[in-house]
Amino acid sequence: NQGRAQAQNMRDSGVNVIVGNADDAYRLSAVGDGFAVLPIAGAAQAADVVLLLIPDEVQQSVCGEQVSPHLSPGDVLCFASGYNIHYGRIVPPAGVDVILVAPRMIGQAVRSLYTQGAGFPCLVAAHQDASGDAMKTALALAKAIGATRFGAFESSFREETLIDLFAEQMLWPGIVKLCLLYFEKLVAAGCDPEVVTSELYLSGEFVEIARAMITEGFFAQLKLHSHTSQYGQLSRADRMAPPALLEAVDAAMAEIQDGA
């Protein structure tokens, strides 16, 4: 979800952008946005800096067949996810800088925040520094997409992979399951499904609480809740994390670390 947003932001920052894409609906979208669009191999051959902003599951084949053969010493290969480099699925050619510029934001907001003059956090890393300037290039790209308006944080491909997958395989599945249980149990207790849905997410209270966490702090925002709410959250938190759940959390981390 990063390709379109990052391409638009970089163009607006004065970068000469070529889009490499298969002949599909996304190509038509890029043409409609006013970009020069080439086949992926042609774009890789024409560019000095290649941003591989395609899904993790197809990066290995696309990079091996259409990108790496067209890279020259001094070129830069940039990822927005550490996955394929960390797990060794992609081994870039020697003489090429391999960097990470990973926004901690969905693509749609990468674009909307840029147009508002705001930024978003971003992780940057250098996996292969053939030129000696890999990190400088990573920071320049982070600036071009608007991330440095908020902050770019030095990281690694391993760290980005762990925090990303742990959120996707532990944190968000847990939140989704709890939300579904909340709905199911209240409806089973006779509550109106529309009222439950409104309380759960339609009211936007979730968003406001998250915004308060950003501005006030994770725990400090509790002062904005009623005493009853504070008591409920603080007194029942451990009950919602029984030993079986903690074992599942540990298992998720172990699987991510060993690549299972």
Give the integer Cα–Cα distance in Å for 136 and 117: 23
Is pLDDT at 17 greater than 90 in this prediction?
yes
Give the integer Cα–Cα distance in Å for 83 and 37: 26
pLDDT digits (tens, 9 = 90+) for 169-208: 999 999 999 999 999 999 999 999 999 999 999 999 999 9
Pair (132, 179) in one structural domain: no
Pair (186, 243) in one structural domain: yes
Pair (205, 124) in one structural domain: no
Residue with tokens 């925002």: 221
Pair (197, 118) in one structural domain: no
pLDDT at 108: 95
Rg from Cα positions in the chain: 22
Any bridge partners for residue 123, and if so which? Answer: 102, 153
pLDDT digits (tens, 9 = 90+) for 237-248: 999 999 999 999
∠ CA(168), CA(137), CA(45), 5° rounding? 90
pLDDT at 59: 96
pLDDT at 122: 98
Side chain identity at residue 17, one-letter code? V
Of 132, 155, 178, which residue constitutes the final position of a domain? 155
19 pLDDT band (50/70/90 cuts)? very high
pLDDT at 1: 78
pLDDT at 211: 93
Of 155, 173, 198, which residue constitutes the final position of a domain? 155
Of 108, 134, 155, which residue constitutes the final position of a domain? 155
Mean predicted lDDT score pLDDT of the chain: 96
pLDDT digits (tens, 9 = 90+) for 27-37: 999 999 999 99
160 pLDDT band (50/70/90 cuts)? very high
Pair (12, 107) in one structural domain: yes
pLDDT digits (tens, 9 = 90+) for 124-135: 999 999 999 999
Mapped onto helix, strand or coil, the DSSP state of residue 124 is strand
Is pLDDT at 12 greater than 80 in this prediction?
yes
Domain limits for position 196: 161-258
| Phi, psi for residue 124 in degrees, rounded to 5 | -130, 145
Is pLDDT at 163 greater than 80 in this prediction?
yes
Pair (83, 181) in one structural domain: no
Pair (215, 125) in one structural domain: no
Pair (130, 179) in one structural domain: no
Closest by CA position to 90, among listed 102, 79, 101:
79
Q: Tokens in use for 40? A: 């992926």
CATH number of the domain enclosing 7: 3.40.50.720
Give Cβ neighbours of residue 45 (< 8 Å, ≥ 6 apart).
70
Average pLDDT over residues 57-69: 96
Pair (28, 128) in one structural domain: yes
Pair (113, 187) in one structural domain: no
Give the integer Cα–Cα distance in Å for 83 and 57: 9
Pair (139, 175) in one structural domain: no
**Can you list the alpha helix ranges (DSSP code H) found in the chain?**
3-12, 25-32, 40-46, 56-62, 83-86, 107-115, 134-144, 157-166, 172-188, 193-197, 205-216, 227-236, 243-258
Q: Domain total for the chain? A: 2
Pair (151, 168) in one structural domain: no
Is pLDDT at 260 greater than 90 in this prediction?
no
